[in-house]
Structure 1
């Protein structure tokens, strides 16, 4: 196991503490239910999830509606997106997360997550993280583009912790944006590469790459 000497453990949310595909599956089911007068809800959700699995992202609802032949006034993509983002998700922490949080319960903890604030807050509630994480920052609360890799959230965590850069660690999954700012600030960065994660892209530059890579939080223990 890898011993962490960090005094503040900072975590990402999506595909780090739970699988983002589970939120997608839950959201597609909610959208399917909202369209029950037009399609079979379960079949609609299955089609959407299959589109996600083969790599589609921003056009999933368009393609699903094409599949079911839904046109005209019934084709309300903005309403579907609102339902997807606004539903109460049926998601759960990955198996290794509860024990990890228990092992590091004596440390300060923080969470930094991008995305619409209400949607991310619903995930936090569903996962029961409000009582398990000391400081939660949802970057969607701020007007403007302050999502990762912008350093604003990382600076706030560092200032609030009062710890030196070498005493902070950021654990996340997405090498395209998660690690650039904490790397530049001198933190330790760790990438969790979970099977079934949504983002599989390589770091665009060496500065974007995490210092360590692992497949499970079981590999970490406090020093």
Structure 2
């Protein structure tokens, strides 16, 4: 059986669910501190996200209520990042992890150390996989596309890169750094990068629409190699 390595965001759960959970906690903070109706500030944050992306959401909502300051933005950001999210594994992720129980399964994920740790904790993954690698714990220079954490897994398992399969969603960084070493790569077509097309160097070897397709794919690949 191949060693399985999963990305986290938009691979095992929907990242917008995390954003929604964080906005809700910030909205509750604003209501408690400034008596701003929770539903109202949440809608403003969501509208800003849909219109502009994530970069200025808290700035926009604070400006709207004439409450903007750098410290106020930092408090909102801290509230967002430190909260314990209300998120769940996607159904196909639950199925895949159940089938893979007892096998070597890893997670490699980029992002703020506390944020990613809280996501993994909320999803109950620490007890369900062999080890979770939050790349920023090893220095930002070891975040994807760096192969560092994948090499650590290969060393831990005493296997060649060809015996490791990585499943991720972001073709901008998930595959380009590890393909030259022989790691097998699978792109799951969902989330914000679902429709992104890249050059061959950035593409995964295989593409799937759900994790239900993963194990049959690995079985076929193993048979072809053998």
TM-score (structure 2 length as normaliser): 0.88
Does the alignment pair 1:214 with 2:216? no
Does the alignment pair 1:56 with 2:53? yes
Gaps of 5+ in 1: 1-5
The RMSD of aligned alpha carbons is 1.9
Deviations 1:10-50 (A, max 9, x none): 00000000000000000011111111143212221222223
Higher helix share: 2
For this pair of structures, how many residues does the alignment match? 215
Q: 1:73: how far off?
A: 4.6
Does the alignment pair 1:69 with 2:49? no
Matches within 5 A, 1:156-167: 156-167=152-163
Contact 2:161 / 2:183 at 8 angstroms: preserved in 1? Answer: yes
TM-score (structure 1 length as normaliser): 0.89
Q: 1:51: how far off?
A: 2.7
Contact 2:168 / 2:174 at 8 angstroms: preserved in 1? Answer: yes
Contact 1:111 / 1:136 at 8 angstroms: preserved in 2? Answer: yes
3-state SS of the aligned residue for 1:136? strand
Q: Whose relative contact order is higher, 1 or 2, with alpha carbons under 8 Å and at least 6 apart?
A: 1
Matches within 5 A, 1:1-223: 6-36=1-31, 37-38=33-34, 39-66=36-63, 68-73=64-69, 76-194=72-190, 197-200=191-194, 202=196, 204-221=198-215, 223=219
Counterpart CA distance in 2 for 1:13 and 1:203 is 21
Counterpart CA distance in 2 for 1:101 and 1:54 is 35
Contact 1:18 / 1:94 at 8 angstroms: preserved in 2? Answer: yes
Gap change, CA 1:133 and 1:24, over 3 Å in 2? same
3-state SS of the aligned residue for 1:76? helix
3-state SS of the aligned residue for 1:137? strand
Gaps of 5+ in 2: 220-226
